Amino acid sequence: MSRISRLFTRKCPGFIGFTVAGDPDAGTALRVVRTMIDAGLDLLEIAVPYADPVADGPVIERAHTRALEAGTTPDDVFTLVRQVREYAPDLPVVLFTYYNIIHRRGPERFFVDAAAAGADGVLIVDLPIEESGEVAEVARRHGIDRIMLIAPTTSPERRRAILREASGFVYLISLEGVTGERDRLAPDIAGLVGAVREDTYLPLAVGFGISRPEHVRAVAAAGADGVIVGSALVRIVEEHLGDEAGLHEALRTVIGAMRCVLAPGREPDIPGRESVEG
C-alpha cells in the first residue's frame, strides 16, 4: 500500500499543508517544512518554484518569486523532498508543478528524479487531460500518483475523463479563481464532493480558500477525505521574514488550531519519525 493510500484509510480527514520549495531560502524552507510536519501535517504538498504560476493568487505568487530569487532550481526541490523523506519516512509528499518545468527537464528524467527523491505524487496544474498521455504513462511506470484537479465548473463528462486518469487522491477546487484566503467558502462544497463521489472511489481532498478552523470544519462536514491549506501557511512565511522564531511559533499555532478540528484531542503523528530518532 502506498503512503498516500495508507493515509486515507484513517477515519478522520487528513490535513494537507502546502509550501513553496526554497521560500525564502533553502535552509529556512527546510526548517519550515519540519515545523509543519511536527505540528501535525498528514500530507505535504511542495510547489516547484515557477515564474508564471497562473493558478496561484498573490500570496503564493510572491513565494514563487522569493524562491526563484534565492536561486531555487528543480534539483533543489528534489533535495528538499529527500530531506523530508529522511525526516519523516512515511509522510506522503506531492509535488505541485507547472508543465513547462517537466517539459524542460523531460518527463522521463523528471519522474525518475521525483521517484528517486521519494515523492509519492505529482500535481500538474496546467496540463489538460487531452495532452497528458505521455506524462500519465511515465508517471505510472515510476509509481508516481497523478493528482488531478476538478473544479466546480468541470462538466460531468470532463470530470469522468479526469477521474479515469487520476490516482492517489482527487484535488477538488472549492471555488472559481486562483488560490488565496477567503472570508467565506463556496456554499455548495457538499454538492461538489457528493457529485464527484458518485464517479470515483478515490479519496477527495478540498483546497483553495481554506484558511480558518471554521473552513476546515465545513469541508470535513461536507464529506471530504482531506483538507488542503496553502495560502494561509505561505502568508505566515511572508509575514515573518527575518523573524524565524515567530515564524515557527505562528505555524505551530495555525496548523494546530485547524488540525484539532479534524481530530480533537489527537496528538500529532510524525510519520516514520521513530525510525529516524530511535
Active site residues: 45, 56
Look at the alpha carbons of 200, 226, 232, 261 in this order and tell me if their dihedral is positive or negative: positive
Query: What type of residue is 63?
Result: A
Distance CA 234, CA 171 (A): 19
Residue 65's identity, in one-letter code, is T
Give yes or no for a contact between 171 and 143, defined as CB atoms under 8 angstroms apart.
Answer: no
C-alpha cell at 264: 480533537
Taking CA atoms, 113 is separated from 44, 72, 89, in Å, by 18, 16, 17
**One-letter-per-residue 3-state SS of 142-167:** CCCEECEEECCCCCHHHHHHHHHHCC
Angstrom distance (rounded) from CA 201 to CA 165 = 13
DSSP-assigned states of every residue in 173-192: E-SSSSS---SS--TTHHHH
Return the DSSP state at 89. T
